Amino acid sequence: MKKVSIIGAGNVGATSVYYIAEKNIADIVMVDVVEGLAEKKALDFLHSAALRNYNISITGSNDYSKMRDSDVVVVTAGVPRKPGMNRMDLLKTNVSIVKIVSQKIAQYCPNAVVIVVTNPLDIIAMVVLRETGFALKKVVGMAGALDSTRFRYFIAERLGVWPGDVMTMVLGGHGDEMVPLKGYTSVGGFPVNQFLDDASIEVMIKRTRDGGGEIVKYLKTGSAFYAPGASVAKMVEAIIKDERRIMAASAYLRGEYGYHNTYLGVPVLLGKNGVEKIITIELTPDEKQALDASANAVREGIAMLETFYAPG
Ligand code: APR
């Protein structure tokens, strides 16, 4: 049986476990610093085993060594941004958390593929890459899958069709600068502009961009977790089953799309080794300009990181 570890048994971590468990594809270990939290949630999941036909093991611990030899490790550990906390405070806190987590991953799971979820995503992915010392393809960020599924939902809702029949890609950094690709969006295989005019599509692009914020506004004390958990599960499944699926994810770029040494959301081929391939497609001048703005925002985040962070 393959093994997946989820670090951080909070909202996104536990929801990811739920969706992965439903697939029966791997044993699951949850690790959290809060005493008893991961144990409690694991036991609660197992209580449903008879009803949900689980034949995998689900365990929880605050001992990192329990993730030993995982095939995939998902990093959701971190703190959400609280009132009064600026971007720099959030970055410093989450960097200090993922630094420890990454060192443990390198120690116990040297062959794992790591999916980073903790925000600010593209910057935290960079820290995980440096701290684990893993190959570039082995550290990937979850963002594009989530942004794309939101965009698919908004289009499907508007047209009254099944969201699975809407195909699209949302590139760029995970944040206000995300870049939904209109030209590559289709419904049942037909270009979306056969169904919707430009102004309507723009409304849905705006809603996608504000998707995370809209949930925060409703929840008040936290951020989204069902769609993020489902997005994590999709990536985990692609890797565990070596499905070679194409989806948007944050990957380390070395010249692709004209960007160097940065994480950014691009189309990737996901398989057992993580990012098996970065897929380069042609962008319109507008899309390229939007992606440039996105890459610049990530670059600013990396510059912020470098004011206080040294690997090791
Ligand atoms: N090791 C393991 N777990 C940790 C550590 C650590 N060093 N530090 C914090 N945690 C745990 C917390 O105890 C908490 O249970 O991480 C969990 C985070 O869960 P939530 O606070 O519920 O946050 P969540 O909504 O799951 O978001 C997690 O994903 O989407 C991003 O922006 C989001 O960065 C955030 C992350």
Q: What is the pLDDT of residues 206-233, one digit of tens each?
A: 999 888 888 888 887 888 999 999 999 9
**How far, CA to CA in Å, does 116 sit from each of 60, 71, 139, 163, 255?**
19, 14, 7, 25, 22
Band (pLDDT 50/70/90 cuts) for residue 243 is: very high
**How far, CA to CA in Å, does 255 sit from each of 15, 105, 129?**
35, 28, 17
- pLDDT at residue 312 in the model: 62
Q: What is the mean pLDDT of residues 159-164?
A: 98
What is the average pLDDT value for the chain, to the nearest integer? 95
* Ligand 1 centre distance from Cα of residue 29 (Å): 15
Catalytic-role residue among 174, 182, 209, 234: 174
Percent of the chain scoring above 90 in pLDDT: 88
Determine the atom of ligand 1 nearest the C-alpha atom of 77: 16
Q: What is the mean pLDDT of residues 4-12?
A: 98
Which of 46-50, 59-63, 244-248, 308-312 has the weakest average pLDDT? 308-312
What span, in angstroms and rounded, lies between the C-alpha atoms of 7 and 51? 26
Contact 182, 167 (CB under 8 A): no
The ligand 1 site (C-beta within 6 Å) comprises 7-13, 31-34, 37, 76-78, 80, 97, 100-101, 117-119, 222-223, 225, 228
Q: Is residue 175 over pLDDT 70?
A: no
> Which residue has a Cα nearest atom 2 of ligand 1?
32
Which of 17-26, 144-153, 248-257, 302-311 has the weakest average pLDDT? 302-311
Q: What is the mean pLDDT of residues 11-17?
A: 98
- The answer to whether the peptide bond before residue 120 is cis (omega within 30 degrees of 0) is yes
Q: Is residue 118 over pLDDT 80?
A: yes
* Ligand 1 centre distance from Cα of residue 231 (Å): 16
* Ligand 1 centre distance from Cα of residue 76 (Å): 5
What span, in angstroms and rounded, lies between the C-alpha atoms of 48 and 304? 45
Q: Is residue 170 over pLDDT 70?
A: yes
What span, in angstroms and rounded, lies between the C-alpha atoms of 182 and 198? 9
> Which residue has a Cα nearest atom 18 of ligand 1?
10
> Which residue has a Cα nearest atom 19 of ligand 1?
10
Determine the atom of ligand 1 nearest the C-alpha atom of 31: 2
> Which residue has a Cα nearest atom 5 of ligand 1?
77
Q: Is residue 84 over pLDDT 80?
A: no
* Ligand 1 centre distance from Cα of residue 270 (Å): 25
* Ligand 1 centre distance from Cα of residue 33 (Å): 10
- pLDDT at residue 218 in the model: 86
Per the annotation, the verdict on 174 as an active-site residue is yes
- pLDDT at residue 229 in the model: 98
> Which residue has a Cα nearest atom 22 of ligand 1?
10
What span, in angstroms and rounded, lies between the C-alpha atoms of 261 and 144? 19
Determine the atom of ligand 1 nearest the C-alpha atom of 117: 29
The pTM score is 0.97
